[in-house]
Structure 1
Amino acid sequence: MEEYYLSCEDSLEGVFTGIYDAYLKKKPHEQIHICVGEEENYRLFAVYETCLPDAKKTASVARTIVREFGQEAYLSICRALASREMDKGEAVYKAVVAGFAMKNKKELMGNLSNPYIHRVFEMARFTANEAHYHVEFLRFKELENGILYAVIGPKNNVLTFIVPHFADRLPLENFVIHDEKRDIYAVHPAKKDWYLVCGDEETGRPERRCSDGERKYSELFSCFFHTIAIKERESYGLQRNMLPIRYREYMTEFQENEKYKK
């Protein structure tokens, strides 16, 4: 039995295009697989095809998912596709296939007995938790030009999930959030909508020298943070549980204290 492997770009647009093309083949879904990126080891007796992202196909799949499965299921799928896991394309595709076979399609994400739906649920939960952590732990610094600048290094591609939070709360501020792992910038001009910029574009590279006021307040905040603690009640195990170490290198209060670094 001939197997088909559709290689997609590591993005929501890439995977949604792959799902659209998979249905166009009119083949049993067990014979079709979606892989993110290129396969390292090609399989014998398998046909490999490359799916280039297509805006119309992406929009069609997105509308179908929202209409058939609901907005919450669509959001879970979007979160799963922001995961760093490379099996996300296959999991989302087979979860959608399983959803169409259900009597009550609105209960898609509740059908955790299906291994693919369960996998989508796991990846979506991990991404949502990481996005929540970054909303809590992200630290802005004021640059000399007045822009508020923050750096993050998430495991998953959560930038688009955290920017709306700050755009809603800081509508009058010019700010930039930089995902240094993927070299992507979220740029928010004051009183305007935010947008993404790739790192190779000069518009996404603001000067990073902090203002004099920022340096003074950073020192004061760091001093306050490290002197207010009661040494007899310090619990590094509890601290690591509440605030994972990997977030601390991007936080003002930990950057000047060596014992909190990795």
Structure 2
Amino acid sequence: MNTTKQIICVKWGTMYGPEYVNRLYAMVRRHTTGPIRLICLTDNHEGLRPEVESFDLPELGCEHPQRTHGKWKKVVLWGRELHGLTGTALFVDLDSVIVDSLDPYFSYGSPDDVLLARNWAKPFQRLGQTSVFRFPIGKNPHILDNFRADPQGTADRFHYEQHYITSSVTGGIKLWPEAWTRHFRLHCMLPFPFRYFFQARLPRGSRIVTFPGGPNPSDVMLGRWVPEAPAHESRWDHIRGAFKPGMTLKARWRHFTRYVIPPQWIADNWRE
């Protein structure tokens, strides 16, 4: 029986450099017992550390849908064949911070289960969030087949790739225990105005903290919400920035809520 734990990530375009993959490998290695494989599916193999196995990101096989925010390229993971990989794999987004053991993600449930983090942005719906999910490779090929048959229609109906996955898995998805996978903005950030004075907390029982919709952990460590914002801006400079001429009340409120103090727990874990 193969006891090697397989972790898959994807990297395309220019948003994330090879340091994200290398950092992910280091976090996985620190927080996983036994042999591991970190497999990166990418359109650029340069700069990856030698322990990372990199393969070309499979082609989507159809036109990419328009007018959508969904990360639809991730549906290639559900093809019948994935570079000869077999068994189960744990997918982890590159902007995730691993803070505790990943071993339970591999032992929980049945190997045939598709396990996802709960979509906390819609807590009253049983939706999965594909920042972290485990799946049996090649067992749900209809997900990619059906998408290829009607990519634009699928995107228009579901809007996000994770909603499509939630509704398409044969037998339905299952969800991780709620404490394991936490959402940075929703579970870690304190409400306004406390975030001006206190670091984001790390909830008890967390194993992975995800950052869907931003901010990116690399920006958080620079004390900013987005790359174009000033790094390590003081709270008073940030507050003054909310009173620029012409700002709407909505824009002003959004500015107030986008202040972040770099948390020590990210610095301790978000490293090679």
Q: Higher helix proportion, which one?
A: 1
Q: TM-score, normalised by structure 2?
A: 0.34
Higher relative contact order (CA 8 A, sep 6+): 2
TM-score under structure 1 normalisation?
Answer: 0.35
The structure having more radius of gyration, on CA atoms, is 1
